[in-house]
Every structure is written in C-alpha cells, then in structure tokens.
Structure 1
Amino acid sequence: MSSQPRKNNIIDLKKAAAKREERRWSAPVPKPSRPSPLSKPQRLRARRRKMRLVMFSICLLCSAGLVGGLGFVSHMERFAITDIKVDGAQQLSANALTAAVQSGLSDNIFRIFSKANMFIYPRTQIEEELAGRFPRIKDVELSRPGLLAQAVVVTVQERQPYAKWCADSMCYFLDAGGFIFAEADASAPTTSYVFNMGLIPKQGPIGQTFLHGRLIGIVHFLELLAAAGYEPQGIRVENEKDFSVSLTDGPTLMVPFDADGEKVVHDLQLALEADSVRDRGAELEYVDLRFGNRVYYKFKGE
C-alpha cells in the first residue's frame, strides 16, 4: 500500500466552503404573493365608501362653519336686546323685574348663541322664571314692539288680595284662588276674611295654596251666611273633615267640609230660633252643625 495520497481523493475545504456560500446567495428568493385583484363590484363598493366618507367630512365642516357663523351673528350689537320696559307693575318693583329679565338674557344658548339676541331670546323660560321668583305675579308676558325692535316689554298682572291667612302674629295675603303670595304688614288694607291653619307645616306660607280645590265651596258658604244676615269673619281649619266659622257678634260655627252650604244655613236659622236659645243668642259660644239633624250648642261660661 502506497503512503502517498491519490490526487483524486483530496477535498479542498476552502473551495467547498466558497461554493457552498455561492450557492446560498445565488438561490432564487421567493417573491411575495400578490393579493388577488378585486372584482368590479368590490371596487365600486370601496369607491362609494370612500366618497361617503369624504362627503360626510365636508358636511361636518360646513355644519360647524354654519353654526359658528350664526353664533357670531347672534352676538352682533344690532340684533341685541338693549332696552327693557315694565308695564302693569303696582306693588312689584320695576327695577327688580328689569334685573331679573337682564339675568335671563345673560349667558349663551349651548355656549354659542347669545340669549340677548332679539330673535332667539328665551321668552318662555324668562316668563316662567319671573312667575316663580315673584309670587305676586298672576300673569306675565314678554313681547317686542316690532320685528326689529331692540326693546322687550314685560307686561305683568298682579294678584289682588282677597283674604288673609294668619298664624300667630304674622299674616299673608291670598288671592281668590287661595294662593298665598305676599306678607301683609300692619299698613296693608283690610280684607273680607281671615283664614287660619290648613297649610303644609314646616313650609313657608308664601307659595302654598289654602284649601286647594275646596276654597270655592267655602267662599260660597260664607256668601250664603252673609246673604242670610250674618257676618262671617273667616274660617279656621280644624282637621281634614271640619272647619269653624267665626261670626261677628255671634257664635263660632262648626261645619264639615262636605256639607251642603244652603242646608247648613237653614239648619242654623232653625237652631237659633229654638226656644232654648232664642233670647240668649249673644251668649252662645259655638253652634255645632256637623251632625245632620242634631245641632249642638254651648253658652259662654258653661
């Protein structure tokens, strides 16, 4: 066996590595797969979607510009309310009403449009705020003299005192509907009647309604008494079912709310003509008319 290696049995590692590197770099790189082309209906839908988005953006920008422009115009001085006039106020302060209207015209609507603009000022809202702030107001209306007038006229109708509601040493005026609207001071004019009790406790009298839904019937009963020759001074609510009526130079009458007024007056006349009280009418303390055909009475000091 020969010790010399054969030439064809020799491997050149340097050349082999070089060829291997050459093959690696010369190998074809796979091309990325291309998406399949869209069909014609798909392309149309994509185009429509893009157009809708563009149109929406344009409309949004136009709307924002329009709102901003109108907001700017609403603040222009030529369209602003600059004068407030008050008509019909007697006991109410015209200055207080003017200040309340000015307060209602301050600030903006949606933080954009001026409330003082003559075309969009919140008329109904201000009317409601005035009625709530000033209980003496029975009716209020805001108006402008002309289309381009920069003045607002506040026309008010005040409640008229019909009777007084009193508790302890304090008295308040109420109108014919029973609504209590103002405190009655010592110099206030006298009224036909004085009422007591019948309000919600722990609430201020002003703003409450005395005998809501019942006062009309009570007033009719008082008128029947006056027509029969008696002088009713007013009523006092005793409980949910009964009330009392004080008569000038006469007894106190106890009457149920659900009584027939004409029958009560008739029964009172019959009772006062009875032999047991006919000559002692001035001594009567009260006459109780709550029990139908049975009339109870009491003399003073008994």
Structure 2
Amino acid sequence: MMLGRDALHSRSYARKYKKRSKIFLWLAGILFLLGILFSWWVTDKSPLVIKHVEVVGARALSVSSIQDVAQNELQHRYLMWHVGNAILAPRKRIEEQLKEKFSLIKTVDVEVKGISNLEISIEEYESTYLICSQTDPSRCYLADGTGYVFAPAILSEETRAYIRFNVTFGDEVVGSRVISRNNFEKIILFKEALADSGLSVQEITVVSDQEVKLRIIEGANIVIDMQSNIDEMLGNFLLLLAEETEKNSSREVFLENTEYIDVRHGNKVFYKARGENAL
C-alpha cells in the first residue's frame, strides 16, 4: 500500500516538474526574444534612432552649435548599444555638456519627442549690466539682473548702453559674482529709488565692500555706505537736493555743478561743488 502511494507521489512530482520546466523554457524563450528585439531597437538601424534635433529658445546662441554638441553625444555607444535613439538618448549628459560649453545658457532641458526627435529647450541669461575692471577698463563682462557674471562682453554701442559697474576682481570671473549678492541688491535698491525720483544712474563704482559711488547722468557722484540704512541715506540725499534746488532754481544745475554728494554720515551730508572744497 505504501509503495502505491509513493508511486503516485512520484508521478505527480514528475508532472509538476515537467510543467515547471515548460514554463521556464517559455519564459527563457520570451526573454531571449525580447533581448534580441531590444538589441535591435537600440542599434543605429532602429526606427527609434534620433533623426532630428530641434532647439527652442536660442537667441544669441547659434542653433547649429547647440545641435552639434547634441549630435556628438548621440554618436556614442554604451557597450554594444548605440545611444542615439529614443530609448537610450543621454539627455542629462547633453544638458551637462551644453551648460559647460555655453556660459550664456541659464537653464536647459532635453526631451525626446515622438520616436525620432530630440527637443532642446534653453533659457539664456539676459544681459542687464556691464561689469568692468577698475584696473583695465576694457576688460568687461556681461551680468544678469542679479549680478551673476555669465560671459565676456564685447564693448559696442549696445553693451555701452548698459549700466556699468567698475569693480576690482581677479582672473576667474565668468560663472561667479564679483559683488556679493547682498551688496548688489542694496546698490540696485538705491539705484531704483533714485530712478523713482527721476534720476538715472549711468555708472557705479565699487570702491570697497563698504563704499560705493553711483554716478548719475547729470555728472554728480552719490557716495553710499553698504552698512548704512538705504532709506535713511536716500532721504538725506533728497532733502539736500530739495534745499539746493530752491537755491539754484533747478536741481539739474546743482547736480551738474556738483562733483559728489556723500550720504554716509548719518544726518550729515557732505557735498563738493566742482573746483571747490567739500561742504
């Protein structure tokens, strides 16, 4: 009786083993076919090969130069597989290479569109200010609205129209801030407050981390202190301007004939007329 049960158990086990073997073979076959299919899809003969690279958002940058960088990365291989396709396209690598090669790029995003198109969307830094060396006035760089320096500047009629910052800095400038962000924001705040009062700043000289001179179009320099309260300095300046306007009947006349106005000393404001001693 026991032998009969053992025989039945043995036949049952054999059937289960045979069934599992078939399932395993089926799975192995499917995986093998999928492997072959995947290998074909990522070859340079696949319909998924990237055929077009579209660049969106480029203004100052050359579209063809951006496309060349992307195409170069798409020619690489990963082991036996061609990466220039919709599956393995090295999007992050392309983004990194573009930001490394083009300092004008602020942000970049690479996406696969459809089965054979690559779209590169970029945002360029916007030139707002000119940052120039005090020791070499011809050595200038472009900066955005936050003071971030992103590219060398070619001095032209267009770039000379930007507000110019005269600063002392070292050799490595691009990709950095030669003026601390906190000080830069204070300077711009004072500049904009002057603009609200109808005065346009033409040039800004950063003498030190503490002393800054803003030259307005009329020619006068306004000397401010980075450690002092911006509103108080502005208030004292406008008070002096109002008093002197009454004396001169025109604030333009006063400003044109004034070399500098120093508002760094609390409620005391010192100014110097051109060719005279400080008052």
User: Is the partner of 2:189 in helix, strand or coil?
Assistant: helix
Q: Contact 1:272–1:278 at 8 Å: present in 2 too?
A: no
Residue matched to 2:121: 155
Residue matched to 1:196: 166
Question: What is the root-mean-square deviation in Å for CA atoms of aligned residues?
Answer: 2.9
The sequence identity of aligned pairs, in percent, is: 24
- 1:119-158: CA deviations, max 9, x gaps? 1222122112212211111222112222xx2121112222
Residue matched to 2:22: none
- Give the TM-score, by structure 2 length: 0.73
Cα shift at 1:239: 0.9
Aligned residues, how many?
234
Partner amino acid for 1:244?
Answer: K
Distance 1:88 1:275, change over 3 A: closer
Distance 1:287 1:117, change over 3 A: same
User: Is the partner of 2:146 in helix, strand or coil?
Assistant: coil
Cα shift at 1:273: 4.3
1:116 lines up with 2:90 in the alignment:
no
User: Is the partner of 1:77 in helix, strand or coil?
Assistant: coil
Cα shift at 1:71: 5.8
1:268 lines up with 2:237 in the alignment:
yes
Distance 1:281 1:155, change over 3 A: closer
Structure 1 unaligned segments of length 5 or more: list them.
1-61
The within-5 A match list for 1:220-231 is: 220-231=189-200
1:290 lines up with 2:271 in the alignment:
no
- Give the TM-score, by structure 1 length: 0.68
Distance 1:273 1:250, change over 3 A: farther
Partner amino acid for 1:161?
Answer: S
User: Is the partner of 1:95 in helix, strand or coil?
Assistant: helix
The within-5 A match list for 1:15-54 is: none
1:242 and 1:166 mapped to 2: Cα distance? 17
User: Is the partner of 1:144 in helix, strand or coil?
Assistant: strand
- 1:244-283: CA deviations, max 9, x gaps? 1011114211112233322211111223345699545432
Residue matched to 1:83: 52
Moved more, 122-131 or 274-283: 274-283
The within-5 A match list for 1:59-98 is: 74-78=42-46, 79-98=48-67
Partner amino acid for 1:93?
Answer: S
Q: Contact 1:86–1:94 at 8 Å: present in 2 too?
A: yes
1:75 and 1:212 mapped to 2: Cα distance? 51
2:108 and 2:186 mapped to 1: Cα distance? 28
Out of 101, 105, 114, the residue aligned to residue 137 of structure 1 is 105
Cα shift at 1:171: 3.3
Cα shift at 1:181: 2.6
Distance 1:189 1:272, change over 3 A: same
Distance 1:241 1:112, change over 3 A: farther
Q: Which has the larger radius of gyration?
A: 1
- 1:219-266: CA deviations, max 9, x gaps? 221110011122211311111222110111142111122333222111
Out of 256, 271, 275, the residue aligned to residue 301 of structure 1 is 275
Distance 1:276 1:99, change over 3 A: closer
Distance 1:259 1:114, change over 3 A: farther
User: Is the partner of 1:160 in helix, strand or coil?
Assistant: coil
